């Protein structure tokens, strides 16, 4: 039983913001501890336990002894609303770097993911391109670009990511031939390349890679923590990796030695 004195009731907005950040921290680190969260937010352990109970009811975390883990497996993709706020300044820098990789004309594919959504938002309004995407948030982000033609793959919408990754999406991608693919990844490592927990998503990403003459991957340093279940690309498949300066210099050099250009932001 905790001996901390309970704090005064916090405003509802603050409670919601705290719970939102707890959910993001749980996904980012794979596990959070009640005592650490209490110290971080300056509240009692009882308050944190109530927060975790609320988040469990929302199917965002699972309570464990002394803390919580993400609702699903460690490789599970968090809700779009949670992922969009993680490493946000890094995502904006990477998105701006990716703009320099756009072809002048022609067609591109933009994969799903929060970093790629930031990229889509940053595409200049005067850009004249045909864009194929399997992501509803990316299609929406492009909808105000007057000269961009948007093609969305069919398929069942995955509710957590608002992306289509099933056989219908793969069938839509296979016949295409585009200039550049902008792709994301759940995980990356020097030895395994780019990996994902999902077989259907791996198949879709492989189809995207085969359909593109050039492949640009946007992967921040946090994705280099561990490999996931299935590899969809070796580094030799990736022409350009855009990442952030927090990625270890030794890792950057080893990826460059495989022939992949690495751009750090």
Give the pLDDT confidence of 88-104 residue by residue, as tens digits.
788 999 999 999 999 99
Specify the CATH class of 82-264 in words.
Answer: alpha beta
Q: What is the pLDDT of residue 64?
A: 84
Query: Has residue 253 got a pLDDT over 70?
Result: yes
| pLDDT mean over 101-130 | 96
Give the pLDDT confidence of 13-59 residue by residue, as tens digits.
478 778 888 988 887 777 889 999 998 888 999 999 999 998 988 88
Query: Has residue 7 got a pLDDT over 50?
Result: no
pLDDT band at 231 (very low <50, low <70, confident <90, very high): very high
Q: What is the pLDDT of residue 1?
A: 35
Dihedral, CA atoms, 27, 30, 34, 38, nearest 10 degrees? -50
What is 12-71's CATH topology? Arc Repressor Mutant, subunit A (1.10.10)
On the question of a common fold for 12-71 and 82-264, the answer reads: no
Q: What is the pLDDT of residue 9?
A: 43
**Average pLDDT along the chain:** 88
Domain range annotation of the chain? 12-71, 82-264
pTM, to two decimals: 0.72
Give the pLDDT confidence of 120-169 residue by residue, as tens digits.
999 999 999 999 999 999 999 999 999 999 999 999 998 778 999 999 99
């Amino acid at each position: 039983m905790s001996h901390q004195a309970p704090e005064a009731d916090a405003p509802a907005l603050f409670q919601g913001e705290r719970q939102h950040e707890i959910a993001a921290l749980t996904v980012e680190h794979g596990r959070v501890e009640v005592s650490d969260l209490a110290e971080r937010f300056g509240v009692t352990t009882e308050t944190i336990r109530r927060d975790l109970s609320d988040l469990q009811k929302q199917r965002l975390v699972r309570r464990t002894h002394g803390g919580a883990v993400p609702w699903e497996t460690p490789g599970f993709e968090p809700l779009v609303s949670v992922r969009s706020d993680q490493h946000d300044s890094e995502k904006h820098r990477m998105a701006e770097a990716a703009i320099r990789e756009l072809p002048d004309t022609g067609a591109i594919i933009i994969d799903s993911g929060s970093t790629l959504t930031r990229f889509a938002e940053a595409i200049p309004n005067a850009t004249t391109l045909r864009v194929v995407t399997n992501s509803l948030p990316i299609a929406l982000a492009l909808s105000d670009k007057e000269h961009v033609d948007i093609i969305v793959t069919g398929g069942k919408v995955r509710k957590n990511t608002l992306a289509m990754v099933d056989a219908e999406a793969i069938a839509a991608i296979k016949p295409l031939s585009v200039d550049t693919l902008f792709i994301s990844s759940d995980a990356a490592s020097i030895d395994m390349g780019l990996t994902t927990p999902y077989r259907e998503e791996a198949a879709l990403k492989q189809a995207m890679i085969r359909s593109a003459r050039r492949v640009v991957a946007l992967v921040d340093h946090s994705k280099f923590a561990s490999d996931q279940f299935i590899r969809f690309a070796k580094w030799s498949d990736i022409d350009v990796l855009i990442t952030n300066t927090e990625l270890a210099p030794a890792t950057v050099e080893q990826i460059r030695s495989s022939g992949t250009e690495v751009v750090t932001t």
